[in-house]
Amino acid sequence: MKTILIGGLALVGMVGLTIASHAQSGAAAGQPKIEKAPKMPNVNVVVQHFDKEEEVKYPWGSIRWMMNSALDKESAQTFGIVQINAGQSNYLHSHPNCEEILYVISGSCEHVVGNKRVPMHAGDLIRVPIGVPHQAFVTGKEPLRAVISYSSGDRKVVNYGNIE
């Protein structure tokens, strides 16, 4: 009985030391350690306004490019807002130089990504790997609006037309 009691007290003591050492280092359980802030650099900040950006029209809808290397030569990403009209689909396409993240703001679609068909609704997000053909088919009665983000400031696209 004494061995169990002493072992248990030793374990409680070790837990207490661990908690104390985390508290002293400034990092609580699950919280990031706070570092001293660096000297703030002088940077060029470009602010884009949705209602002032050109709407690029397509037979199926439109895209407003909010950021890319054409808008800001220092940009390493491309970011846009796409709208695909109800009952429409964009072209089957791929991006040979970047991956794509697509986040649905409103509406719904079935997104073909490679050999998979993925239903998507507001609040859903997918990642399309580099070079993988993909296409969105709007399934609801309202347009699909989504954020599209690419891992290159100079996104390339290869269009394959429509699939059934």
pLDDT tens sequence across 150-162:
999 999 999 998 7
Which of 6-10, 80-84, 139-143 is the least confident region? 6-10
* Contact yes or no for 48/68 (Cβ under 8 A): no
Please work out, in degrees rounded to the nearest 5, the angle formed at the alpha carbon of residue 50 by the alpha carbons of 45 and 51. 125
Read off the pTM: 0.76
Can you give the residue ranges of every domain in the chain? 50-161
The fold adopted by the segment(s) 50-161 is Jelly Rolls (2.60.120)
Helix (H) or strand (E) holding 118: strand 116-121
Percent of the chain scoring above 90 in pLDDT = 67
